[in-house]
Structure 1
Amino acid sequence: MRNRYDAPGGIMSDALASCVGDTDYFFETVLSRAHLYRPAAFDEGAVPVSTAEIDDCVTSRPLAASSVRMAKDNQLLDQKLYLMDVGPSYVGPRDTIDPVKVSRLIDAGATLVIRPASLHLPRLRRFCKDIEMQVGQGVDADLFITPSNARGFEIHADAAESLVIQLQGSKHWTLYEPVRPWEHRSFGIDPPAELSPVAEYTLNPGDFLYVPRGMPHLARTADTLSVHVTISINAIRWSDLLTSVIQTALGAPSFAGPVPLRDNLVSAIREELPQQMARLGQVVQQAAAAEGVLDQILRSDDSMLDAVRSNLLSELVTGTKADVADKVRLRPGVWPVVHRGGQDTAIQTGRSRFRVSGSAADACEVLMRAPTYVKDLAEDTQAALEAVEVLFQYGIAERCPD
């Protein structure tokens, strides 16, 4: 039985499994090692975003040009070609796209890319955040609309783990032997003739394809317009993590002094360098073990700062309160770090830090392990209710969907 993404406002019971199938097999055998193709992974209507939602996003809202790219034959188009024309007295937001111009450009062979689409499409955003909670790293999504008999980009490789879901029409994908999987940014392949194809697939609505980071690929349409979404797992590299830990360690006072002041400077540095390196190793270990340091580094990625805050305002307006029988959980995309220090107990999410009571911190730590009923968050019922209300107000927790 396939996992299904519920109606708007619903939660995927296991968003990643709906894409990859057996998640244990995916993590142990496939991830970063091989591609994965799953035809008909999603039933009709079960994909995490519909064409109607996409149409509403593009045509009915002021979509900022900074979220849009258009390309044709591997060339990015000038934004002026699809910006809204406004006069000096216009009171709406400027630098937004003109849906008519965008549609005409697509009809003329250009590909539309909304990046990141997960910021503009609520169901897709929640889907991404559900995957994020499973993989522990930042997840976002880009949307691609490509007209028939076209390709927006030449052979290239991405620096993220890519989960591709075909939404409408069909698109033919050619995958090649991986190259430079350590690259930090997406990159083109030159010359492409040196690449060896390893697989070819034609994706139809509901089909899924996983493309590992660093695997070159070419996607092109045939007789139909194609709409697909690429969900990116922005995995943190060991080099990035170690660099951040070392930078933290280098802030120690022991490294603030100058190198030896001698006429034979190079020889003096070579003599003292082994001691400094040994000291650095010790300080790095201490920094990595210090409370909150790794959490701060790992959760500072901008793609992990936009937790799902749906219904936060409506609950405030209606005055909805928690009940002891409610089952609650962390909001998707929230990565709390609890800091304890007597009167300075706090919960940090992203770059925000909230001072809370000890009971609220306790409740947060319980929810970090699993969704829990309010009555089970504290021995005292009133304390549990007050703790949950604090977590609700700060957008850290929410009621589990029915």
Structure 2
Amino acid sequence: MDAVVTASGLRTPAIRIVREGRILPASSFTRAASIAGQALTGLVDARRVLDEVRGGATVVLQGLHRYWPPLTDLITALERELGHPCQANAYLTPAGSQGFAPHRDTHDVFVVQSEGAKTWRLGEEGEEEEVELHPGRVLYLPTGTRHSARAQDDLSLHVTIGINQFTWRGLVRRALLASLDEIEDGHLPAGWLDDPTEVVEGLRQRLAAVAEQLATSDPTTVVVAHEQDFLTSRPPRLAGGLVDALRGDDVDDDTPLRRRSTSTSVLRGGQDNGLRLLLGDRTVDMPAWLRPAMEQILAWQQFRPADLAETLDPQSRIVLCRRLIREGLLTPVR
């Protein structure tokens, strides 16, 4: 936390400061600078942040999973396991202070206490229950749970893991939107305000057409499209990728390789009976005959290209492994 706040060049909106329920304006703890003559705004002014903390303010690091590797690993694994977008924030609160006023979140939250102690008040006003968290304890807050928290006798640090759930309503909306594409986007008739009857009948016909389209639509198509959108819109996880790009062509049959723990990897059928690898931020299309080799690679944590001898000839397995290094799924063991 110290390194991120005081020495990382952090910028808003990755950081917020809150005091007793009030979010402080960014101008109160940031400064401007320039790089190569270009203005750079929203830079954290470490001295001003420290002054705010001494005055009882809470520092919030937002989207911490984007730049703190242990949380990157955790969030990637959770998204793959749960099938829902996840995020991580951190909250540093001085002794005896409270950040946010009682509020509700629109997503599920897991609170992981890391340092110090914090007392949480949960439930409706007048009916609250108190829970005190110490390092290593985890509190689950279902969507909509009213809550607030106050640090105890020492500085408190906790991390929240937010689960931004996909919903049945969202999936049904996707199916409806696909059916709406079949309805022409023509204008309502001129003068319809004087006699809406024609519009009512026209709407009835179009609603019937949408209902018919929905009744014959394939739910598999909707779910597959939803899955592909999710598994191609995650941030790329490419730590070490620069070195891989420079040395990836040095791979031979005996080079030890490992699958990146932070890389989402799902194998599905592709176009023209081919193979499609979903890698979190993109897709890779392959011929279907590579399926046995790809299934082996995705099942192993570490291997050598020579281990693919039962499914691929020497040249094919080297080409495949080099390609997967470029795509970020594999990395040489150093």
Instruction: Report the counterpart of residue 256 of structure 1 in structure 2.
Output: 184
Distance 1:223 1:290, change over 3 A: closer
Range with bigger deviation, 327-336 or 238-247: 327-336
Residue identity in the other structure for 1:172: T
Q: Within 2, Cα distance between the matches of 1:275 and 1:346?
A: 37
Q: Within 1, Cα distance between the matches of 2:277 and 2:219?
A: 20
Please state whether the residue corresponding to 1:268 is helix, strand or coil.
helix
Pairing 1:196–2:127 present:
yes
Distance 1:367 1:384, change over 3 A: same
Aligned mate of 2:73, from 119, 126, 141: 126
Q: Within 2, Cα distance between the matches of 1:293 and 1:169?
A: 45
Pairing 1:216–2:146 present:
yes
Q: Within 2, Cα distance between the matches of 1:173 and 1:322?
A: 56
Q: RCO (CA 8 Å, sep 6+): is it higher in 1 or 2?
A: 1
Instruction: Report the counterpart of residue 96 of structure 1 in structure 2.
Output: 43
Q: Within 1, Cα distance between the matches of 2:39 and 2:117?
A: 37
Pairing 1:176–2:99 present:
no
Gaps of 5+ in 1: 1-53, 178-192
Alignment deviations for residues 245-278 of structure 1 (CA, whole Å, 9 cap, x no partner): 32233223xx226488696324413652552242
Aligned mate of 2:226, from 291, 294, 310: 294
Aligned mate of 2:234, from 305, 329, 334: 305
Q: Within 2, Cα distance between the matches of 1:363 and 1:222?
A: 55
The structural deviation recorded for 1:228 is: 0.8
Q: Within 1, Cα distance between the matches of 2:275 and 2:171?
A: 27
Q: Within 2, Cα distance between the matches of 1:225 and 1:343?
A: 58
Distance 1:322 1:173, change over 3 A: farther
Q: Within 1, Cα distance between the matches of 2:309 and 2:121?
A: 51
Gaps of 5+ in 2: none
Which one has a bigger Cα radius of gyration?
2
Query: Is the 8 Å Cα contact of residues 129 and 307 (structure 1) preserved in structure 2?
Result: no
Residue identity in the other structure for 1:166: Q
Residue identity in the other structure for 1:81: S
Residue identity in the other structure for 2:71: L
The structural deviation recorded for 1:118 is: 1.1
Range with bigger deviation, 101-110 or 389-398: 389-398
Aligned mate of 1:116, from 63, 81, 97: 63
Alignment deviations for residues 344-388 of structure 1 (CA, whole Å, 9 cap, x no partner): 865454553445455556644555667575525861242333223
Query: Is the 8 Å Cα contact of residues 346 and 361 (structure 1) preserved in structure 2?
Result: no
Pairing 1:66–2:13 present:
yes
Alignment deviations for residues 194-238 of structure 1 (CA, whole Å, 9 cap, x no partner): x632x4221112222121121111111122111111111221122
Q: Within 2, Cα distance between the matches of 1:377 and 1:248?
A: 45
TM-score, normalised to structure 1, is 0.69
Instruction: Report the counterpart of residue 246 of structure 1 in structure 2.
Output: 176
Distance 1:130 1:244, change over 3 A: same
Pairing 1:106–2:39 present:
no
Please state whether the residue corresponding to 1:58 is helix, strand or coil.
helix
Residue identity in the other structure for 2:158: H
Aligned mate of 2:26, from 54, 65, 79: 79
Query: Is the 8 Å Cα contact of residues 359 and 378 (structure 1) preserved in structure 2?
Result: no
Pairing 1:281–2:214 present:
yes
Instruction: Report the counterpart of residue 162 of structure 2 in structure 1.
Output: 232
Structure showing the higher strand proportion among its residues = 2
Query: Is the 8 Å Cα contact of residues 366 and 372 (structure 1) preserved in structure 2?
Result: no
Pairing 1:396–2:329 present:
yes
Query: Is the 8 Å Cα contact of residues 163 and 210 (structure 1) preserved in structure 2?
Result: yes
CA-atom RMSD in angstroms: 3.5
Q: Within 1, Cα distance between the matches of 2:55 and 2:221?
A: 57
Q: Within 2, Cα distance between the matches of 1:281 and 1:349?
A: 31
Please state whether the residue corresponding to 1:142 is helix, strand or coil.
strand
The structural deviation recorded for 1:329 is: 3.6
Please state whether the residue corresponding to 1:84 is helix, strand or coil.
strand
Number of positions where the alignment pairs a residue of Structure 1 with one of Structure 2? 325
Instruction: Report the counterpart of residue 311 of structure 2 in structure 1.
Output: 379
Distance 1:225 1:121, change over 3 A: same
